[in-house]
Structure 1
Amino acid sequence: MSLKRQLSGFELTIFGLALMAPVTVFTTYGIAAEVTDGRVPFAYLFAAIALSFTAYSYAQMVKAFPISGSAYTYVQHAFNSKAGFLVGWALLTDYMLLPMVNYLVASIFLTSVFPGIPAFIWILLLVVLNTFINIRGTKMASWVNTLLLTYAFVVILLFIILSIRFVLSQETALFTVTPFLNDGFNIGLLMAGASLLCFSYLGFDSITTLAEEVVDPKRTIPRAIFIIICVGTLAFVGVSYFATLTQPNYQNFSNLDASGIELVAMVGGNLFVSLFLGGMLIGCFASGLAAQSSASRVLYAMGRDGMLHKAFSKLHPTYQTPVFNLLLIAALSMLSVVMTLSMATAFINFGAMIAFLFVNLSVIGHYYVRQKRRSLKETLLYFILPACGALFVFYLIINLNKYSLVLGVIWGAIGVVYLFYLIKIKGMKTIDMSFNEEAKS
């Protein structure tokens, strides 16, 4: 039994945008404004351009290997099974803990509205609902995500419209470069802002985990990757641009962490605040739904290859989904009752950046080194562009906070011990690549 090919390009794009959760631009705006000294739109553009190199690398690797596993699969083919396992091990911290972060944030919103209901009740309800939807299959998850994402984009559009009305009422210029440059171009501030905001783009990479469930993945997935980057950038830049026009001086916010709510209240009043909070909650739910699905596919690929117990490679006889994996992630997500947001985020940041780094290197390893595609054009496509992506991601890694690095190193050490067990105790020599020819086509 194998995963079922049924997702279209539109459904795949919705999946990636749902995991990206564009409404999170409101939660990071205040801090980003402080870090960039009011140049948030330019920082988003800078981050998008920099991450486009990595997006390009994902597109090239999925063309070569259109199967589940994402970075785990690409690295094991470009280098070797051991490197692939360790990257997959790091990637698990991203996909498996991202649902936890979404449930934790959602529970914070819900308990603020319904203080009499404990947070763990909301977390349990969200986990059960998301797991049920994902078990029923990617088609159902895609349908739900489409509805949820539509609401989120309506909130974004309403904010922009109301901001335009507010700005015009203040007799302020509607079109200006001030939100991009403030008092002038400053590459140091832009790099600092991009380092913070690049994590808003997490989601474009997740669609590669669904490669065996997509119709014509070699064409569909690369196209969807860049659509997700472009749509996300339009949302992020649009919101941050009009947010800057609405409140030109970020120091006037009473609380930078809650600057999004202050902006919403300024342009739309209490009614719009209610709609906005609903959009934030929906964004968390949709992102958790997509992240749980992505994580289950990485576990499926590693189980199929014998890197994890064979239970991870089992599919539901009717829905053809990795039920065991989904239930495991649901159980881990319940740790959001006791885990702090900063700890979970630290794990996610490390795992995502390690995966990004090695996907860029995989393009060089697979195309430039192994296939020896080294003409002038191919050197640009398969060496220079991915090398640019790798250098930017490496910069992000060395600038992660100490908690991300410490937790990442500890998790990596556990992975090395487990790999040693697989090789020395179980006697595993090579990976049994058990995917069928249909999956590769």
Structure 2
Amino acid sequence: MSQATTPERASDVPSAPTLKRVLGVPALVLFGLVYMVPLTVFTTYGIVTEMTGGRVPLAYVITLVAMLFTARSYARMSAAYPYAGSAYVYTQRTFGGAIGFLAGWSLMLDYLFLPMINYLVIGIYLEAAFPGVPAWVFILGSIAVVTILNVVGIVSVARANFVIIAVQTVFILAFVVFGSASLAGREVDPLAPFVGDGSVEGVGVLFAGAAVLCLSFLGFDAVSTLAEEAKDATRSVPRAIMITTIAAGVIFIGLSFLAQLVFPSNEFADVDSAARDVMLAAGGEFLAVFFTAAYVAGAAGSALSSQASVSRIIYAMGRDGVLPKRVFGRLSARFQTPVVAILCVSAISLLAIWFDLALLSGMISFGALVAFAVVNLSVIKHFFVDRRERAGAAVVRNLVLPLIGFGLTVWLWTSLSAETFIVGLSWLAVGIVLLAIVTRGFRRPTPMLDLKES
């Protein structure tokens, strides 16, 4: 005689895995700074030095000003929509699914390439330190380690970030001490890093350099992707975004200023590893070796954080069906992380073995600036147009400031190289084709992300 089945209580039904809310403001700021890598100032140091005629600090000032307006827009939108997905979510909810998809697609360009550029520079500097070992060996090894840490979970990422930022802090202090000591007794012109060496003239090259340097500031954007893992996300994420942007800007300007005083030349042994010439001039072989260790640790930390961010954007896009939901829209029941998305990012990062540093830098900035522009417009649409917050100072907050941010990002975007535009626009074209497939020739609405938390 069969027994009647008892209906399962809601508490007995296992719930779908969700992201853990474990990160406070310090952890979010730490994540952003590690994502940026304080030593990332040296990633494109040689390239931007040649491009601007020795005016890297001035180019960083321009970039910081533009990024402050955009960071403020990200902070506003992260409070309005405290969910994983960053620019993808903000533009989707304000301009609709199609525009949101293209914004997320553009953002994925720089997120997919940022881990790649970190693996590339790890290979460049470790091969220089150990000439007998090819760069691809170091690239493969770092990809494996970073992937494992990301699969295990965001807590392991945060713990690793603390160690990495500590190593970089010690190096920065050492560089300041050695660099300052090397200037003793020398005739130094403190205005030289802002005036230049005369090899390149004009303001246009400064904006071109500033456009490349945008990749240095991607950490504030990365903070917004962890909104569903932050405690009190509507308050902690906006604060962390602004703190991260300002702190990083000060570090970048200060380090590039000292570097150009120590080595006032754009004649490098290798433009991709120009920082080694600076370190040798500041503190000899000891500082050069210390820099390599700290820089590689920082690049690994940035790869760790950037892979965490892009995997969550892919997860957000899979969760709403824009990407295959059964593949990308699921979390691991064991680790509560988007494992499939993490593995896909690792596979794409293998391209670091063949890509060029200058092109990668430009592509990251291309995708970032497109996303930055639409987030500034999202503030206007959400607060000024939809919510009609237009009284008094609200006009400045909701229209004037984001409009300035939009104008500055477009100016920087148009300063990128023609080669970057070719690749970047090709990426956008692929996104439009994918969108057409998902919407059956634009006859169906673009799937929208369900913002109800479990």
TM-score by length of 1: 0.92
Larger Rg: 2
Asked if 2 retains the 8 angstrom alpha-carbon contact of 1:34 and 1:250, the reply is no
How far apart, CA to CA, are the structure 2 residues paired with 1:73 and 1:23? 30
Larger CA deviation: 322-331 vs 188-197: 188-197
Choose the corresponding residue for 2:160, options 141, 144, 147: 144
Cα gap change, 1:122 to 1:383, in 2 (>3 Å): same
Aligned pairs (5 A) from 1:95-106: 95-106=111-122
How far apart, CA to CA, are the structure 2 residues paired with 1:415 and 1:189? 31
Aligned pairs (5 A) from 1:58-137: 58-137=74-153
CA displacement 1:79-109 (0-9 Å, x = unmatched):
1111101111111111112111111221122
Larger CA deviation: 156-165 vs 19-28: 19-28
Indicate whether 1:381 and 2:397 are aligned: yes
How far apart, CA to CA, are the structure 2 residues paired with 1:95 and 1:168? 42
Cα offset, 1:133, TM superposition: 0.4
The runs of 5 or more residues in structure 1 that have no matched partner are none
How far apart, CA to CA, are the structure 2 residues paired with 1:137 and 1:256? 37
Match of 1:24 in 2: 40
Match of 2:323 in 1: 308
Choose the corresponding residue for 1:272, options 287, 299, 304: 287
Please state whether the residue corresponding to 1:67 is helix, strand or coil: coil
Match of 1:400 in 2: 416
Choose the corresponding residue for 2:73, options 57, 62, 65: 57
Match of 2:231 in 1: 215
Cα offset, 1:166, TM superposition: 1.6
How far apart, CA to CA, are the structure 2 residues paired with 1:432 and 1:392? 30
Match of 1:292 in 2: 307
How far apart, CA to CA, are the structure 2 residues paired with 1:258 and 1:154? 21
Amino acid aligned to 1:272? L
Cα offset, 1:312, TM superposition: 0.9
Amino acid aligned to 2:253? V
Asked if 1 retains the 8 angstrom alpha-carbon contact of 2:151 and 2:337, the reply is yes
Cα gap change, 1:94 to 1:191, in 2 (>3 Å): closer
Cα gap change, 1:97 to 1:42, in 2 (>3 Å): closer
Indicate whether 1:418 and 2:434 are aligned: yes
Cα gap change, 1:172 to 1:105, in 2 (>3 Å): closer
How far apart, CA to CA, are the structure 2 residues paired with 1:214 and 1:77? 21
Larger CA deviation: 346-355 vs 24-33: 24-33
Please state whether the residue corresponding to 1:376 is helix, strand or coil: coil
Choose the corresponding residue for 1:160, options 176, 182, 185: 176
Cα gap change, 1:171 to 1:383, in 2 (>3 Å): same
Larger CA deviation: 211-220 vs 429-438: 429-438
How far apart, CA to CA, are the structure 2 residues paired with 1:28 and 1:125? 23
Indicate whether 1:14 and 2:12 are aligned: no
How far apart, CA to CA, are the structure 1 residues paired with 2:117 and 2:234? 31
Cα gap change, 1:104 to 1:258, in 2 (>3 Å): closer
Match of 2:222 in 1: 206
Superposition RMSD in Å: 2.3
The runs of 5 or more residues in structure 2 that have no matched partner are 1-16
Cα gap change, 1:258 to 1:102, in 2 (>3 Å): closer
Match of 1:44 in 2: 60
Aligned-residue sequence identity (percent) comes to 39
Asked if 2 retains the 8 angstrom alpha-carbon contact of 1:7 and 1:138, the reply is no
CA displacement 1:90-131 (0-9 Å, x = unmatched):
111111121111112211222233333333322221111101
Match of 2:12 in 1: none
